[in-house]
A = this chain, B = another copy of it.
Amino acid sequence: MNFTVIHKDRKTGARSCLIQTDHGEIPTPVFMPVGTRASVKLVEPEELQAQQVHIILANTYHLYLKPGNDIMAMAGGAHTFMNWRRPLLTDSGGYQVYSLSELRTIMEEGVRFKSHLDGSTLHFTPENVIDTQRIIGSDIMMPLDECPPWPAEKDYVKNSGKTTIRWAERAKKHLAATRPLYGHNQALFGITQGGTYADLRMETSKALVDMDFDGYSIGGLAVGEPAEEMHRMLELSNGILPEHKPRYLMGVGTPENILNAIERGIDMFDCVIPTREARNGRAYTRTGYINLRSARFAEDFSPIDEGFDNHVCRNYSRAYIRHLLNVGEILGLKLCTLHNISFFMWLTRTAREQIIRGSFREWKDDFLKTFNSGQKP
């Protein structure tokens, strides 16, 4: 994986970069739609490409459970399995072990947990999580980490940060001892933790930087803490993480959180917001989001966002999508999903253009002013 900083904003920490993988290039800042179980819900891979999606995310925990490593290996990895030919990033599954499994025991060796599907007992270790990602064949892999909740006692966060560092070391060692299975290279990021404790965040970040990962994920944020706390941690990370490596803020987020993080030097984002909210009928526009289930759109034959040039706005009206949602036609959810993905791709693509043009901060302020003033929940 190559990483090049193309342009640094003079007024903010924002930057535009280029990540090069064996499955193609990723201009940053970039939003990565979530395809947890090897499917971005409702949408085909070629439709994602048409919306200028460069990279998607899948989840190691979910794919390990189903279809399982045997089938994934037989398929020749997730790219072939799902027919996605562009870059793929996989989450380590650590977060899902904590959020989904009924019983889990964190040991030095790894995590023992019960599958949320059938209750069977499973073990994730830093090593076998790498093995699974070798089988998935993701272009960018994540090591097993321990993600503390927010708020959490400092001692707990400190210990979990140390565990995360030891596991990261083992992951890196195991990476070196294994090879890609399908001929394309696989990068490994380090995941920083430390909650919102500045010293702990700094400690885990520095330790990971010393291990020289291909990139750095910022974990344990966007878990309920106030925005200012998140910003403080991002600014701190920005000062520690090396400039010549990509920075990925995991699980973020809203347009506002994304732009605030770009301003603080973040390159990559993933979140279920555009896809999950679409399935509740929420559609994003440059003047705020709207809920297309609302009766007030029943006779509104304008596109979701007038003048926004994407497939959904070119072809369908608010009234038609509202009708589909109203009568329970799944096509309505698909059109909302596709539109929202397109909107989030536009957001990070435009941020990139504005960074290169030197007008990122002004554009961001204007955009958020319009976006927030127009919100009609």
Q: Which residues of A contact B (CB under 8 A)?
A: 37-39, 41-46, 62, 66-67, 70-71, 74-75, 81-83, 298-299, 301, 315-317, 319-320, 323-324, 326-327, 329-331, 333-335
Query: A320 CA to B316 CA in the complex, in Å?
Result: 30
User: CB within 8 A of A75: which of B41, B317, B324?
Assistant: B317
Q: How far is the CB of A222 from chain B (nearest CB, A)?
A: 25
Q: A66-B323, A320-B83 are in contact. Are A298 and B71 (CB under 8 A)?
A: yes
From A38, A327, A334, name the one whose CB has the most chain B CB atoms within 10 angstroms.
A327
Q: How far is the CB of A216 from chain B (nearest CB, A)?
A: 31
Q: How far is the CB of A48 from chain B (nearest CB, A)?
A: 11
For residue A335, which residues in chain B have a CB less than 8 angstroms away from its CB?
A: 44
Q: How many copies does the complex hold?
A: 2
Query: A299 CA to B72 CA in the complex, in Å?
Result: 9
B83 and A41 within 8 A (CB)? no
Q: A67-B298, A67-B319, A323-B66 are in contact. Are A42 and B74 (CB under 8 A)?
A: no
A320 and B37 within 8 A (CB)? no
Query: A53 CA to B42 CA in the complex, in Å?
Result: 22
For residue A74, which residues in chain B have a CB less than 8 angstroms away from its CB?
A: 299, 301, 319
For residue A329, which residues in chain B have a CB less than 8 angstroms away from its CB?
A: 37, 39, 41
Q: Nearest CB to that of A37 among chain B residues?
A: B327
Q: Nearest CB to that of A334 among chain B residues?
A: B42
For residue A301, which residues in chain B have a CB less than 8 angstroms away from its CB?
A: 74-75
Query: A132 CA to B223 CA in the complex, in Å?
Result: 53
Q: How far is the CB of A191 from chain B (nearest CB, A)?
A: 26
- 23 inter-chain pairs at a CB distance below 8 angstroms, sorted by A residue, are A37-B323, A37-B327, A38-B320, A38-B323, A39-B331, A41-B330, A41-B331, A42-B330, A42-B334, A43-B331, A44-B335, A45-B315, A62-B327, A67-B298, A71-B299, A74-B299, A74-B301, A74-B319, A75-B301, A75-B317, A81-B319, A83-B320, A330-B334
Q: How far is the CB of A26 from chain B (nearest CB, A)?
A: 23
A323 and B83 within 8 A (CB)? no
Q: Nearest CB to that of A81 among chain B residues?
A: B320
Q: How far is the CB of A143 from chain B (nearest CB, A)?
A: 25
Query: A71 CA to B41 CA in the complex, in Å?
Result: 30
A320 and B41 within 8 A (CB)? no
For residue A66, which residues in chain B have a CB less than 8 angstroms away from its CB?
A: 323, 326-327
Q: Nearest CB to that of A337 among chain B residues?
A: B330
B81 and A331 within 8 A (CB)? no
Query: A327 CA to B116 CA in the complex, in Å?
Result: 13
B299 and A83 within 8 A (CB)? no
Q: How far is the CB of A237 from chain B (nearest CB, A)?
A: 34
For residue A71, which residues in chain B have a CB less than 8 angstroms away from its CB?
A: 298-299, 319, 323
Q: How far is the CB of A76 from chain B (nearest CB, A)?
A: 8
Q: Nearest CB to that of A65 among chain B residues?
A: B327
Query: A319 CA to B329 CA in the complex, in Å?
Result: 27
For residue A327, which residues in chain B have a CB less than 8 angstroms away from its CB?
A: 37, 62, 66
Q: How far is the CB of A171 from chain B (nearest CB, A)?
A: 27
For residue A41, which residues in chain B have a CB less than 8 angstroms away from its CB?
A: 329-331
Additional A-B contact list (9), CB under 8 Å, known A66-B323, A71-B323: A37-B324, A41-B330, A41-B331, A67-B298, A67-B326, A71-B298, A75-B319, A75-B320, A83-B315
Q: Nearest CB to that of A338 among chain B residues?
A: B44
For residue A83, which residues in chain B have a CB less than 8 angstroms away from its CB?
A: 315-316, 320
